[in-house]
Amino acid sequence: MIKVFLLLTVMSSPNWPSVKTSTFLYDTEFRCRESQVAFLNAYELQSDFYKSNMVVDAYCIEFKSFPVPGFNKTNLGV
């Protein structure tokens, strides 16, 4: 088993039929947190109008996984 980190992004807007999610895979918590901060900072840079119509959040989740082929050979994540 290996330890991986999933960045879960969650987005909601008034006219969407559901909450939208995306996940990204990272090999370290540090890389996951870096991307989490970048995602949230990008949202904060948006206009007040945008933010009044879009709610977002992001979470880094630690997960034990079987080895993922090619995981350490590519730059995964955001």
- Is the pLDDT confidence value at 78 over 50? no
What is the reported pLDDT for 4?
A: 94
Nearest to 19 by CA among 7, 29, 9: 9
Residue 8 one-letter amino acid = L
Measured CA to CA, the distance from residue 32 to residue 72 in angstroms comes to: 15
76: in domain: no
Total-model pTM: 0.84
Residue bearing tokens 């969650």: 10
Nearest to 3 by CA among 30, 36, 40: 30
pLDDT in tens, 44-73: 999 999 999 999 999 999 999 998 887 765
**Residues linked to residue 21 through DSSP beta bridges, in sequence order:** 10
Q: Which domain holds residue 50?
A: 2-66
DSSP SS3 for 19: coil
Measured CA to CA, the distance from residue 62 to residue 54 in angstroms comes to: 27
29: in domain: yes
71: in domain: no
27: in domain: yes
